[in-house]
Amino acid sequence: MLSVLRGIPASPGIVVGPVHLLRWEVPEVRHRLVDDSSIEQEIERFHAAVERARERLRLLRARTEAQAGPEEAAIFDVQLSILDDGELTNSTIALIRQNLGAEKAFDIVLLEWRQHFARSSAPMLREKVGDLTDVHIRVLSILLDLPDHDPVDVPRGSNTILVTHDLTPSLTMQLDRECIAAIATEAGTATAHVAILARSLGLPAVVGLRNALTALHGGEIVILDGAEGTMVISPSDHEVDEARQRVAEEEGRADVIRELALSEPVTRDGVRVVIRANVDIPEESDYGASSGAEGVGLMRTEFLVVGRASMPDEEEQYRAYTRVVKAFAGQTVIIRTYDVGGDKLPVGGFPHEANPFLGWRAIRMCLDESELFKVQLRALLRAAVHGDLRIMLPLVVTVDEVRETRQLISECIDELAARRVPFRDDVPLGVMIETPAAAVACDTLVRDVDFFSIGSNDLVQYMLAVDRGNANLAPRFTPFHPAVLRLMAQVQATGAAHGIDVCVCGEMASQPLAVFALLGLGLRQLSVAPRAVADVKRIIRGVRAEVAADAAQAAMACSTAREAEVLLRRRLRAELQL
């Protein structure tokens, strides 16, 4: 029997607590026929299951509204409307009258609906696929008498460690952070969205924890160590005492970390670096502003559309952006337009694509759905009145995408002027450099944009042809490959030659060894999770830029990522006298 599960460290911290297993997937349904005398009983069983699911959704809706607000609670309205659909009821009953068991009849109808909606050309129907899947799981679980594993059904104050196969962003949005103390997933890597979100929220997390759902039992006490990437099952009293002692020691370092976070990020030879914060949701902005960060280098806006029943209107977006800008008064706030698709599915989900990371996502989707995009752009132009807001476009590969966006911004300016609402018409526009095309051709982009921001997660993924969400490939996903380092150096040099800012906002900027390398490549602006600000400043204050530059040059000349990483680590340890 396994006593320790080993995965990939995703977010530091130690938690001792009970496990909550979340199996949120459509269960298998065996083909079952019933005789004529049982048909009415099956129909009654189906009605009872639907009613129980309806009651459950109403309860969840009320709880979500009380805890998060009416807009977040509205995600359950679509699912309630699906249960109320007469066609769903009639189609299921028709199949039961053909002697199918209630669960098989419902399963067939929902599969047909999901396939039909996914193929629809109407965005409103495609958006319902995710809600249909949730209803599918919920009703089948009741009919099959499976344990209730509702995503939000965790007792308050239970210090629970959530264990699931893969926590999608839409499920993450439903979690009550007052109940969940840590996250563990079977899938994913350190750069998967769930890992990034866990770090932003300060939730310890381990990903790539294979077979965790099989090895663990609900309610079982474990020790999760997010820094080591381990989970100790049914620990001894001694192991629990030791873990709690380490937690106390971490809390004792809080004053030291706070002092370091507020220090100046200047190297030993006098080079000043700007450290900004990555922000996932507006609620993070107050914490981010007190972390020692000098503004926001990346505010993700996917929280507005993931796990929702309807798109947010201009006023809701304006309020969200304004909150962040005001929290960082007098400092730069860079807000990225929707980067949905891939592993971040918007309102109800996307149509199926064989390779979603190479598919209809980010700026491509925004330009094709220009009326939705313009709502976001208008909200951003209005929020810019309150501070130094800048707009950043994701997944740009050609200058045409920048020019089309500028045309839409121009239309938004005319519309806002006609409405006589306050806005700014000079908001800087930048792009994320996260594809090889954008990096290699950045000299063609530089004339049409105001700044670059290197998205290291996707750039490494596309450069090395390694899926960053695939746990099997995690060791091959490395930002220290000499080709990656050379390309980043090229982007930095191009930006410097044209006098525009170049920042790194991917996870790479939070890693101590990578900070040393980026400093050596000439980068002087980094954006990291608020919790990482102190550690990044510690590295910067402990090294000399000229030494880092010499090490980066040597790393770029290496033959392999391993050689480059070993070389950088040796130089950094020598510089820090470790």
Stretch 478-488: mean pLDDT: 96
pLDDT tens-digit map of 228-239? 889 999 999 999
Each domain of the chain, given as residue ranges in start order, spans 4-24+150-251, 38-144, 263-432+503-576
Cβ–Cβ < 8 Å for 207, 10: yes
Torsion angle of C-alpha atoms 365, 371, 377, 379, degrees rounded to 10: -130
pLDDT tens-digit map of 76-87? 788 888 999 999
Alpha helices in 290-361 (DSSP H): 314-327
Cβ–Cβ < 8 Å for 192, 468: yes
Q: What is the pLDDT of residue 309?
A: 56
pLDDT tens-digit map of 527-555? 998 888 998 999 999 999 999 999 999 99
Q: What's the CA gap between 538 and 515, in Å, rounded?
A: 10
Q: What's the CA gap between 188 and 192, in Å, rounded?
A: 6
Q: What is the pLDDT of residue 306?
A: 64
Q: What is the pLDDT of residue 393?
A: 97
What superfamily in CATH does domain 38-144 come from? PtsI, HPr-binding domain (1.10.274.10)
Residue 243: band (very low, low, confident or very high) from pLDDT cuts 50, 70, 90: very high
Query: Is a pLDDT exceeding 90 seen at residue 427?
Result: yes
Query: Is a pLDDT exceeding 80 seen at residue 185?
Result: yes
Cβ–Cβ < 8 Å for 291, 531: yes
Q: What's the CA gap between 458 and 77, in Å, rounded?
A: 35
Q: What is the pLDDT of residue 249?
A: 83
- Indicate the burial class of 36 (C-beta count within 10 angstroms; 0-12, 13-18, 19 or more): exposed
Name which of 120-129, 194-203, 210-219, 492-501 the model is least confident about: 120-129
| This prediction's pTM | 0.67
Q: What is the pLDDT of residue 130?
A: 67
pLDDT tens-digit map of 283-293? 678 778 888 99
Give phi and psi for 87, each to the nearest 5.
-65, -40
Binding residues for phosphoenolpyruvate: 300, 336, 457-458, 468
Instruction: Check if 4-24+150-251 and 38-144 are the same fold.
Output: no
Q: What is the pLDDT of residue 346?
A: 53
Place of tokens 């972390």: 291
Binding residues: 300, 336, 434, 457-458, 468
Q: What is the pLDDT of residue 402?
A: 97
pLDDT tens-digit map of 64-74? 677 656 665 66
Binding residues for Mg(2+): 434, 458
Cβ–Cβ < 8 Å for 456, 504: yes
Q: What's the CA gap between 278 and 297, in Å, rounded?
A: 6
Which positions are annotated as active-site residues? 193, 505
Amino acid at position 469, single letter: G
Q: What's the CA gap between 296 and 333, in Å, rounded?
A: 4
Q: What is the pLDDT of residue 56?
A: 84
Cβ–Cβ < 8 Å for 184, 8: no
Q: What is the pLDDT of residue 383?
A: 97
Stretch 559-567: mean pLDDT: 96
Q: Sheet holding 8-11: strands in order across?
A: 4-6, 230-233, 221-225, 14-22, 160-164, 180-185, 205-207, 8-11
In the CATH scheme, what architecture does the domain 4-24+150-251 have? Answer: 3-Layer(bba) Sandwich (3.50)
Q: What is the pLDDT of residue 70?
A: 64
Query: Is a pLDDT exceeding 60 seen at residue 419?
Result: yes
- 3-17, 103-117, 168-182, 451-465 — most confident range: 451-465
Name which of 101-105, 270-274, 367-371 the model is least confident about: 367-371
CA neighbor of 229 nearest in space, from 244, 201, 210 = 210
Query: Is a pLDDT exceeding 90 seen at residue 98?
Result: yes
Query: Is a pLDDT exceeding 80 seen at residue 349?
Result: no
Query: Is a pLDDT exceeding 90 seen at residue 199?
Result: no
CA-to-CA dists, residue 161 to 49, 170, 177, 385, 568, angstroms: 29, 18, 11, 42, 36
Stretch 406-426: mean pLDDT: 97
Q: What is the pLDDT of residue 152?
A: 55
Q: What is the pLDDT of residue 200?
A: 63
* H or E segment and range at residue 276: strand 274-279
Q: What's the CA gap between 512 and 9, in Å, rounded?
A: 15
> What per-residue string of b and e applies to 370-408 under the rule 16 or more CB within 10 Å gives b?
eebbbbbbbbbbbbbebbbbbbbbbbbbebebbebbeeb
Residue 417: band (very low, low, confident or very high) from pLDDT cuts 50, 70, 90: very high
Q: What 3-state DSSP class applies to 272? A: strand
Stretch 15-33: mean pLDDT: 88
Mean pLDDT of the chain: 87
- CATH topology for 263-432+503-576 is TIM Barrel (3.20.20)
Residue 35: band (very low, low, confident or very high) from pLDDT cuts 50, 70, 90: very high
Q: What is the pLDDT of residue 359?
A: 79
